[in-house]
Amino acid sequence: MTAWEDSVRDTARAVQQGASAVRLVEASLARIEATEPSLHAYLHVRGDGAQAEAAQLEQMGASARAALPLAGVTVAVKDNLVLKDAPTTAGSKILAGYVPPYTATAVARLQAAGAIVVGKTNLDEFAMGSSTEHSAYGPTKNPWDPTRVPGGSSGGSAAAVAAGTVVVALGSDTGGSVRQPAAFCGVVGLKPTYGRVSRYGLLAFASSLDQVGPMGRRVADVAQVFYVMAGRDPHDATSVDGPAGDPTPDAGGSLKGLRVGLVDSQRAAAGPEGQAALDQAARALTDRGAVVSSVDLPHSRYGIAAYYVVAPAEASSNLARYDGVRYGVRGEGRDLAEVYFNTRGEGFGTEVKRRILLGTFALAEGYYDAYYLKALKARTVLAQDYRAAFASVDVLLTPTVPEPAFRLGEKLDDPWAMYQSDVMTVGANLTGLPALSLPWGVTEGGLPTAVQLTAPWLEEARLFSTAAALEASRPHPWTGPGRKGRTGS
């Protein structure tokens, strides 16, 4: 047993039966040490803390360990989720040296279930980006090809899983920031229904869009982590309970009668290899008994424009709290106004400043109706499109991204081109729907391709059962970067 090859279920079962959690953590830390010089997936590694927690786990009685569904499972956590007594920077200089006094609910629930957090992962600053190149601490690189980006903003978490440093990882998804890097790095990524996972302890970017989501090499791994995290939290008024589901979805189950909607407009927006992957996945669903038909989301073309008004507007409000007075870095000044100006000017990076300015402009008197209110109307119309689609189908099938991972630096000077990476994913955030990215094959150039499944509110169980059946039907099982011959099944 290693730090990454075994599933969540097999890892937990082995530790419950007496396997060494300490050795698992040591293997994870060794893998991190071997890959970090080339990938830079982590901002902080909890060597001593993780080993101490593993030792405590081993000292538990057998019955106590047996009650822990994630016993010994190694986890990496995106560095915008707070962890008590560990640095949390959100990839920004403005939070350099900040150590929070509490742990995010999603992380705490994993720890209570026996999981061991080995480190905090790199991200675009305050989760604003699609490539993890906007981190103040340097970019993360894609394990499949270090000349390419891992996606963003949860690129560090996706790279950590793909590189085999942990079994699973947590990210946050505001416009696709779990699913897009999952697609670029060839792993499974889930954006849950808005409210299914508590946002308490997640540093806010856009509060009506943000959601914590898991990544893993298998659908079942992601499902098990999700069901441990999900549920109402008194610390988060937007959190909800949802229907229970099977944490180990049946990969061999029939999909007879399942109605799948293939979104033609989004298929057309993908490149040739993305279209081929989508068509192949549709055939696999048909072979399992599903009925695949074409559907339309006629206003989806407004999704990116609406998102890049709503999200920056909320960010301009949320990030006002970083002023150098209460926590984080403090700029010097002759008076309070100058302290604010210098703190934010020196602490925030270019992309964060760009989005704060965009959001402040959209909310300004005289522009609110023209931009922000219009974006909210577009959001409502898009939600109506999804409701209409789900009246005739059970699941939507689309590409996750319009193209495979692009090269480092390729889009840094063209923000609009960078924003287009989210064109397939923002719809689920604007409408609050659950969506999952599933790896599906490899391009001729050796990069992962992926497909995306979207379901109605609170229907994560439907996503998992459909994705697990698709996963079992893949013509080329997951091998991971540089691991030809190994499969993820």
Helix, strand or coil, per DSSP, at residue 461: helix
- Kindly tell me if the per-residue pLDDT of 486 is higher than 50: no
DSSP 8-state code for residue 405: P
Among candidate residues 153, 172, 300, 437, the one labeled active-site is 153
Among candidate residues 7, 131, 135, 177, the one labeled active-site is 177
Average pLDDT of the residues in 163-192: 98
User: Is 256 in the active site?
Assistant: no
State the pLDDT confidence band at 485, using cuts at 50, 70 and 90.
Answer: very low
Per-domain boundaries in the chain:
8-261+392-473, 300-380
Cβ contacts of residue 57 below 8 Å, gap of 6+? Answer: 15, 21, 65, 68, 71, 72, 114, 116
Helix, strand or coil, per DSSP, at residue 467: helix
Helix, strand or coil, per DSSP, at residue 177: coil
- Kindly tell me if the per-residue pLDDT of 160 is higher than 70: yes
- Kindly tell me if the per-residue pLDDT of 4 is higher than 80: no
- Kindly tell me if the per-residue pLDDT of 459 is higher than 80: yes
The dihedral built from the CA positions of residue 246, 252, 253 and 258, taken in this order, carries a sign that is positive
Among candidate residues 28, 78, 120, 141, the one labeled active-site is 78
Cβ contacts of residue 295 below 8 Å, gap of 6+? Answer: 261, 262, 263, 264, 389, 392, 393, 396
User: Is 177 in the active site?
Assistant: yes
Say what the pLDDT of residue 476 is.
61
Q: What percent of the chain has pLDDT over 70?
A: 96
Total number of residues shown for the chain: 489
DSSP 8-state code for residue 372: I
- Kindly tell me if the per-residue pLDDT of 478 is higher than 70: no
User: Is 473 in the active site?
Assistant: no
Helix axes 219-229, 105-112, angle to 10 degrees: 110
CA 455 to chain centre: 17
The reported pTM is 0.95
* Digit-coded pLDDT (tens) for 14-23: 999 999 999 9
Q: Which one-letter amino acid corresponds to residue 88?
A: T
Identify the residue with better confidence: 314 or 365. 314
* Digit-coded pLDDT (tens) for 326-380: 777 888 888 888 888 888 888 899 999 999 999 999 999 888 988 999 999 999 9
* Digit-coded pLDDT (tens) for 130-151: 999 999 999 999 999 999 999 9
Helix, strand or coil, per DSSP, at residue 137: coil
- Kindly tell me if the per-residue pLDDT of 488 is higher than 50: no
Average pLDDT of the residues in 190-215: 98
Say what the pLDDT of residue 484 is.
42
- Kindly tell me if the per-residue pLDDT of 252 is higher than 80: no
| Domain spanning 8-261+392-473: CATH 3.40.710.10 | no
Q: Taking a C-beta distance cutoff of 8 angstroms, is the pair 12, 69 a contact? A: yes
